[in-house]
Copies of this chain bind each other. A is one copy, B any other.
């Protein structure tokens, strides 16, 4: 299998689905002539033309609403929102509109809409360094995918495009350049299924998106100290599949959640709540959370570095959990 980047995996999914299904098209700010702010759709305008690669004005709320309407009337729109931070401007459309219509109108309307957006950071300062997956994961009617690997990114994006419901598909700016094995052509990774990404016996790490990378690095380091870590990648945050994590905790009796969101009311809280609900008797220690520091993210590199979880943070927490 070819080793390709996360970015290229997403590009493949987009092209294959646009080829397969004429109803699929992409809308967003600077996706055409500019090629996408993270270059995901570079060259697409030339390849597909302006009817299927639609550059829009800077109007996140309007764009998501327009795409929702098009989805209602037989299209399969993919909206790119440059940064998940800007999705706050579309919050009402995503939550009060796209997510509600199928239920509220008694099944008369369906909204096969994909919103692709990027979490991430890198000295972008307070308004461009947040991540809101926990908010979306709370929303009935919406599905939320947040893949960590090129393989999952392609397979889950294809699933999302074919899905009849609105899907928030959350990429990560610091993953675009990472590589992994990806088959060419058609395959899907189902939405709503977590996966064990590393087997182990001493400790369970539950994570998703870029934090998987951090968790893997920490697990490598811990392995050198003869500590065997099992890593569960949630992949989808709504519906949230806690089965593999619960099974893992039943085996390891200790769990740690790693995420890049702020700790308070992040995904980690929900994972902790469910694990203690579903595996209370198996837990030998409180479930720990490693998350971002609760400040508006500062620009200065040295300060920013203090804000997001590192491999060392994870190793430290693991040792503490194991009383070592």
Interface size class of A (residues with CB under 8 A): 35 or more
Output the nearest chain B residue to A60 by Cβ-Cβ distance. B92
Say whether, besides A135-B135, A240-B264, A286 and B276 are in contact (CB < 8 Å): yes
Partner of A296, one of B100, B261, B265, B294: B100
- Bitwise interface map of A from 271 to 313 toward B, beta carbon under 8 Å scored 1, else 0: 0110011001001011111000011101000000000000000
Say whether, besides A91-B88, A95-B88, A286-B280, A268 and B273 are in contact (CB < 8 Å): yes
A111: min CB distance to chain B, Å: 12
Q: Which of A90-138 contact B (CB under 8 A)?
A: 91-92, 95-97, 99-100, 103-104, 125-127, 130, 134-135, 137-138
Contact A265 B262 (CB under 8 A): no
List residues of chain B with CB within 8 A of the CB of A287.
273, 276-277
Partner of A265, one of B125, B137, B294: B137
A135–B261 Cα distance when bound, in Å, is 12
A269–B127 Cα distance when bound, in Å, is 26
Output the nearest chain B residue to A240 by Cβ-Cβ distance. B264
A276–B268 Cα distance when bound, in Å, is 13
Contact A127 B100 (CB under 8 A): yes
Q: Which of A242-269 contact B (CB under 8 A)?
A: 261-262, 264-269
- Interface: A140 (CB within 8 A): yes
A195: min CB distance to chain B, Å: 20
Say whether, besides A100-B126, A240-B264, A141 and B296 are in contact (CB < 8 Å): yes
Output the nearest chain B residue to A94 by Cβ-Cβ distance. B88
Say whether, besides A126-B104, A134-B138, A280 and B285 are in contact (CB < 8 Å): yes
A94: min CB distance to chain B, Å: 9
- Interface: A270 (CB within 8 A): yes
- Interface: A238 (CB within 8 A): yes
Say whether, besides A264-B270, A265-B270, A269-B269, A126 and B138 are in contact (CB < 8 Å): no
Binding site for B on A (CB under 8 A): 61, 85-86, 88-89, 91-92, 95-97, 99-100, 103-104, 125-127, 130, 134-135, 137-138, 140-141, 238, 240, 261-262, 264-270, 272-273, 276-277, 280, 283, 285-289, 294-296, 298
What are 24 inter-chain pairs, A to B, with CB distance below 8 A? A61-B89, A85-B96, A89-B91, A91-B91, A103-B296, A103-B298, A104-B126, A104-B296, A134-B265, A135-B135, A137-B264, A137-B265, A138-B262, A138-B266, A140-B262, A140-B295, A265-B265, A265-B267, A269-B269, A269-B272, A272-B273, A273-B289, A276-B286, A280-B285
Known pairs A138-B262, A276-B276, A276-B287 / 6 extra A-B pairs, C-beta < 8 Å: A96-B127, A104-B125, A104-B296, A140-B296, A141-B296, A277-B289
